[in-house]
Amino acid sequence: MAVSAPEPLSTNPLRTLVHEVQAERHAEVPYPPGETRFSVARTRRFERDPVPLLLEAYRDHGPVFTLRLLWAPVVFMLGPEANHYMTVSHAQNFRWRDGSLGDLIPLLGDGLLTTDGEYHRHARRIMLPAFHRERIAEAADAMIEEALSGLGPWRAGDRVDLYAWTRHVALRVAMRALFGFDPDRAADGFDPAQEFERALAFHGYDYTLQMLRGPGTPWARLRSARTKLDRVIFAEIARRRADPGHGGGDIMSLLLEARDEDGEGLSDRQLRDQVMTLMFAGHDTTTSTVTFLFHELARGPHVRERLLAEQDRVLGGRVPTAAELTNDLEAVRRAFATLTAERGTAFYDAVVAAVSYLQGVAGHSAILLYSDGRDRSSRFTFAQSLEFAQRAGVTIYSIGADLPAFDVVARRQLCKLSEETGGRCFFVRTENLAEAYTTIERDLRHRYLLTYEPGPSSNRGFHAIEVRVSNGRRARSLAGYYP
Ligand code: HEM
């Protein structure tokens, strides 16, 4: 499915300034309360050490507040409720490209972090299979090797800058797992990891310096680092396209082969933008998490002792294997036992996730949906989840367990999802589940593949189909298809 590329954003700081001033002037609702007077001191404080400033504003104004930084009123949302609101319950109200993440476009381009809507969903569908558990497990060897070699020089009593150390290790892992680059073999004296850090350094400069253009400015250094990185990445893409099947198991080679439901893959530019985005998305997040992990372990001798004891007991001095890190269901169960569920189910999201997971898997797929049919916190709508399933050609069987008869909306939705995708819905009491499973199993064994070659059509929407059987029997089939 051809999806049009997102609109380019201007990188001209004056144009951005005018745009932001106009956006404030034409705002249709008031900004949330906060510190909205112009203040150079506040902007400088934010640049140097933002956390205390944000915590003060949180204390004074609550989880949603405005801080004017330079000329722009910036709205912040902090805390668990705000996170849930933005990333789960009301995610559809937010766009990533127009917010601060858009500032990353000059380096990252149009990847998952800087795009929205259909373009974003389409890219996600193509990329998802590259992140299956087995694929991640393949990267675990690189992680273990790099962690060990990073720990090699440590001696008891050393003082180590942990943040710098984790950044170094994480970048080496990313270079190998994402691009298949050997971080010890800097080509022609060019070290991609170092160049990436150089490009990121742009965002550490004061805002006024970030606005400067011309030779010798942080902007010029960002552009030059990007040009050098692009040269290496595009050369690698060209090398692999010319010699398919010899890329190794890294993410770049998986994305080179990834296709959407119409067999369309990523262009060179899209591939470059997505891999660069993954490099960024996985960098600061992982490095600060690991650094804080060490920090918390240093503060909590109790936990540290338990961790070391577990390590000795399980590993007895050897290094862990990928399977131990990813397949230990008992450890996952223990970890989940400490979590408490909040809010409600996200049934539509679960359908979209399951369907996306099956994308790229050969053969005809079916999903068995076991649900109370209610949805409290999905970011996708019912109609979208149905469309995802129809586009992917996945058949859904649904079982509504212990659903009250008056819950007509839930019942109707479960049945619609199933009937429109060629499956069936069942409403049973939990003790009769076995019967439903047996019927579904029998049904799946007796499926027939009827193929139908539609003629050319300019209508990209849903095409309904009806299958009639002449001897008076009924045949269940898909309700239609997307061309
Ligand atoms: C401790 C480590 C990490 C943390 C805390 C973290 C956190 C997050 C959060 C909060 C989001 C936004 C989710 C949402 O909108 O619902 C996100 C998105 C994302 N993360 Fe991570 N992340 C981590 C590691 C990684 C790694 C290692 C990668 C890749 C190699 C990665 C790639 C991404 C991508 C591509 C997105 C955007 C997904 C999309 O918009 O479809 N992250 N991450």
Q: pLDDT tens-digit profile of 255-268?
A: 998 888 788 889 99
Structural domain count, the chain: 2
For residue 226, being part of any structural domain is answered with no
Instruction: Out of 86, 119, 152, pick the residue that ends a domain.
Output: 119
Pure H helices in 162-300: 162-174, 192-200, 207-211, 218-242, 251-257, 268-281, 283-299
For residue 355, being part of any structural domain is answered with yes
For residue 227, being part of any structural domain is answered with no
- Distance of alpha carbon 385 from alpha carbon 388, whole angstroms: 5
For residue 277, the ligand 1 atom closest to its alpha carbon is 35
For residue 72, being part of any structural domain is answered with yes
Nearest CA to ligand 1 atom 17: 281
For residue 243, being part of any structural domain is answered with no
Ligand 1 contacts CB of residue 124 (under 6 A):
yes
Cα dihedral 67, 69, 72, 76 sign: negative
Listed residue (249, 239, 276) closest to 113, CA to CA = 276
β-strand 395-401 against 366-371: which pairing, if any? parallel
> pLDDT at residue 361 above 80?
no
**The tokens of 221 are what?**
């250094």
Instruction: Out of 87, 119, 151, pick the residue that ends a domain.
Output: 119
Pocket test for ligand 1, best of 101, 113, 285 (most atoms within 8 A of CB): 285
> 328 C-alpha vs ligand 1 centroid, how far in Å?
23
> pLDDT at residue 129 above 80?
yes
Please give the model's pTM, rounded to 2 decimal places. Answer: 0.73
For residue 238, being part of any structural domain is answered with no
Residue 394's CATH number: 3.40.50.410
202-206 average pLDDT score: 91
For residue 361, the enclosing domain spans 347-447
What is the per-residue pLDDT across 252-300, written as a single tens digit (0 to 9) for each? 988 998 888 788 889 999 999 999 999 999 888 999 999 999 999 998 8
For residue 176, being part of any structural domain is answered with no
Ligand 1 contacts CB of residue 286 (under 6 A):
yes
- Distance of alpha carbon 365 from alpha carbon 293, whole angstroms: 41
Ligand 1 contacts CB of residue 410 (under 6 A):
no
Distances (CA, A) of 194 to 103, 139, 172, 190: 21, 21, 10, 8
- Which residues, in sequence order, are CB contacts of 341 under 8 Å at separation 6+? none
More confident residue, 142 or 323: 142
Nearest CA to ligand 1 atom 6: 285
Confidence (pLDDT) at 360: 57
For residue 440, being part of any structural domain is answered with yes
Confidence (pLDDT) at 224: 95
Ligand 1 contacts CB of residue 112 (under 6 A):
yes
**Which of 26-30, 165-169, 211-215, 456-460 is predicted with the least confidence, judged by mean pLDDT?**
456-460
